Amino acid sequence: MSGPFEPPQNDNENSGEPIQPPGGPQFNPPPDPYAAPGYQPGPGGPMYGAPPPAGPADPMSGYGPQPGYGPQPGYGQQPGYAPQQPAGPVNAPVNDRAQRLAARPLPTAGSTLAGVGMGLVVFGVIIWAGGYATSHVASSFEDGGGSSSSHTWLGIVLSLGVTVLGYAIAAVARRGPLATAGVVASALGVPTALVFITLDFTGGDPINVDAVFVVSIVVWLLSYAVMPGARGHGFYLGLGALALWIYLIIKISPSLPTLPAELFARSFVGADSFGGPDPTKDLGSLTAMSFVLGAALYAIIFLLDRAGHRGAGTPLAFAAFPITVGGFLFASNDFGLLGEGITLLLVGFALVLLGARSQRRFTTWAWGFGIVVGVFLLIEKASPDNDTAAGLLFILCGVILAGLGVVVTSALNEREYPEG
């Protein structure tokens, strides 16, 4: 008899017969042929009997191979699939020209120092060889023998040597500080060599301006397009654009270098008593040329950016800025404060929009400062002597520009940071 806290005893517990659940014997389902070893179906659900004896035949012992499954080779090639081949050679050379055309170079301290250093080397060649040539010219005059150009050989040899060495370094290095040094040496060495080659003190112009500028521009464009190691370097494009502007200035107004001195002298003695041609007669042509060339460069930059060639547009942007600013300087005599201020506002606003759309920080911020200069000129014209009125006008213009910024950002759906 069972106690109050003892489980009920089954009469068949020690009889050797299977224990029956309450209610009598129940139907036992047939064994499942797909069941794992040790699994037995029971009347009330699955039952796990004693595990099979351990031994070499035990498929579960030691986590060995499962019945019906061959040894797994790991993460090898699966049957039925051809081995995958790499798309190209692992160490395939990078297309430097295509990369320079598409992307702006990152600023690096090493390349900057190398470029500046090579610029000083070329400047040293000019000082050394130029001093040698001019000193012998002066001594020839003192001796009464007239001028001579036979002492330009030092400048020719040194500048050509720097140029050839620069191209060789750029072709070998291709990237990094040495490549930058080679590009700077070759780019600056070309016009330096042409100056010494055409230098002539026997009469007329001391150098052949057409040969120096035209040949230099052509060589720079060829270097940018086809020269090994130098292809795609924007330094050639920027120099070419600036050289074209300077060349046109010289052709339009050959006396322009003396313009500041002549204007200073005329301010004291008067334009009528000074004599000679009016040095300001070419300022209108210089203004138009600078504005047209600057606008053309900015249009080219916009098209290059649209085509994905941002790397090619970067040097042109740095050249277009001084060219356009030069146009404003040439126009100051004709436009006056009012015209200069209005033009700066219009051009500055247009180029701020262009720079922001093309994601060019220098263009955007530089011409934003141009808008500030335009506001200064207009307020100087409107209130030159009244500080109170000028201060209020500055405040009013600042509020208007700030509100305009909010409107433009909303209209163009601008973002300050790229979306991650």
pLDDT digits (tens, 9 = 90+) for 283-299: 889 999 999 999 999 99
Q: Is the pTM of this model over 0.75?
A: no
Residue 37 pLDDT class (50, 70, 90 cuts):
low
**In the predicted structure, residue 91 carries a pLDDT above the cut 70:** no
Q: Which of 58-62, 95-99, 277-281, 328-332 has the highest mean pLDDT?
A: 328-332
CA distance 182 to 185: 5
pLDDT of residue 309: 86
Alpha carbons within 13 angstroms on the beta-carbon side of residue 211 total 12
Torsion over CA: 165, 167, 168, 169 (sign) = positive
What contacts 164, CB < 8 A, 6 or more positions away? none
Q: Is 46 helix (H, G, I), strand (E, B) or coil?
A: strand
pLDDT digits (tens, 9 = 90+) for 128-153: 998 888 876 656 555 555 445 567 88
pLDDT digits (tens, 9 = 90+) for 251-273: 998 777 666 666 556 555 555 54
What contacts 290, CB < 8 A, 6 or more positions away? 245, 323, 324, 326, 327, 330
CA distance 392 to 397: 9
